[in-house]
Amino acid sequence: MGDKTMTADEAVSRLESGMTLGVGGWGSRRKPMALVRALLRTAITDLTVVAYGGPDVGMLAAAGRIRKLVAPFATLDSIPLEPHFRTARESGSLELMEIDEAMFMWGLRAAANRLPFLPVRAGIGSDVMRVNPGLRTITSPYEDESTGLRETFVAMPALRLDAALVHLNRADRAGNGQYLGPDPYFDDLFCEAARTAYVSCERIVDTAELTKAAPPQTLLVKRLNVSGVVEAPGGAHFTSCVPDHDRDEAFQRLYASMPWPEFAERFLGGDEQTYRTAVRTWHEEQS
């Protein structure tokens, strides 16, 4: 099956400025933050980021790496609006395509199935169409049997990705990825919609182990859609990665309240081990 293991730095070295990058997870839940931090250590910029946004969006926006964001929201969950995203949006430093959550999912599904678009009811009759004048509608070629009418849908364009970054609980060396928490967060669609996908995980295990402790339906990501696997314990920090760890709420509040230059200097100035040490030191200072 092939060994696809690599470091986070090796994974992001395959990315380029100007790419369309999908980031898995949801809000402040199971985000591939170790990969995002590795990306911030590069000079890569001018990105189109596609995400159910959380601190991944906030950090990349604050660092000036995002040209355009495609998202239904940007939240820290327990903090409703991602503050660094808000600052970037209010300053006009990035372009935003804000769409309904279901439209977003359908855009990923269209890309995963190599279709130019998929029809979806979400968005009809809402301001989504007003703020995204490039969106089009399509009328069904089939009449409704009961009314004789032909329904109109939003023609949601495919959200094609050059690369995707996701974080899962477990993976094997070939790229099969497993989630053990309450929700898959569409990480499989991000990987399927992308030309290349990089999976970080809490722990790399043998393939046989993936089905020993959990049912087969938890095998979310297939190896054929994965280009690289990164073992990154705590790699979702400070977002949650249930059941391995909860969200670090205290550190998230610090991130939300601290000016970005100060946060970046204190916590993002070195490699991942330096980050973990800085976080641990901060927690010790608070106790």
> DSSP letters of 203-265?
EE--GGGGGTSS-GGGEEE-GGG-SEEEE-TTTTTTSBBTTTB---HHHHHHHHHS-HHHHHH
Same domain, 124 and 222: no
Q: Do residues 162 and 5 touch, judged by C-beta distance below 8 A?
A: no
Answer yes or no: is 150 within a domain.
yes
Answer yes or no: is 196 within a domain.
yes
pLDDT at position 212: 87
Fill in the amino acid letter for 192.
E
pLDDT tens for each residue of the chain, 287 residues long: 699 999 999 999 999 999 999 999 999 999 999 999 999 999 999 999 999 999 999 999 999 999 999 999 999 999 999 999 999 999 999 999 999 999 999 999 999 999 999 999 999 999 999 999 999 999 999 999 999 999 999 999 999 999 999 999 999 999 999 999 999 999 999 999 999 999 999 999 999 999 887 888 999 999 999 999 999 999 999 999 999 999 999 999 999 999 999 999 999 999 999 999 999 999 999 98
Predicted model pTM? 0.97
Give dist(CA 3, CA 173) in Å, integer: 5
Answer yes or no: is 47 within a domain.
yes
Buried b (16+ CB within 10 A) or exposed e, 4-26: bbbbbeebbeebeeebbbbbbbb
Residue with tokens 């996908």: 197
Share of the chain above pLDDT 90, in %: 97
Q: Please, what is the angle between helix 33-40 and helix 55-62, to 10°?
A: 10
pLDDT at position 213: 74
Domain that includes residue 188, residue range: 8-99+159-286
pLDDT tens track for 168-210: 999 999 999 999 999 999 999 999 999 999 999 999 999 999 9
Tell how strand 152-157 and strand 177-178 pair up.
unpaired
Structural domain tally of the chain? 2
pLDDT at position 243: 97
Answer yes or no: is 51 within a domain.
yes
Token reading at 37 = 């931090």
Give dist(CA 51, CA 60) in Å, integer: 12
Same domain, 166 and 142: no
Same domain, 142 and 268: no
DSSP state of 284: H
Answer yes or no: is 137 within a domain.
yes
Same domain, 146 and 246: no
Q: Do residues 24 and 164 touch, judged by C-beta distance below 8 A?
A: yes
Same domain, 192 and 276: yes
Q: Do residues 61 and 38 touch, judged by C-beta distance below 8 A?
A: no
Give the H/E segment covering residue 148.
none
pLDDT at position 1: 67
Of the residues 157, 174, 206, the one at which a domain ends: 157
Answer yes or no: is 49 within a domain.
yes
Give dist(CA 23, CA 190) in Å, integer: 7
Give dist(CA 281, CA 215) in Å, integer: 38
Strands (DSSP E) found in 14-79: 20-23, 47-51, 66-71
Q: What is the domain-level CATH number for residue 90?
A: 3.40.1080.10
Token reading at 151 = 């329904």
Answer yes or no: is 109 within a domain.
no
Same domain, 179 and 57: yes
Return all residues near 166 (Cβ < 8 A) that are at least 6 apart. 23, 24, 25, 32, 177, 187, 190, 191, 197, 198, 199, 200, 221
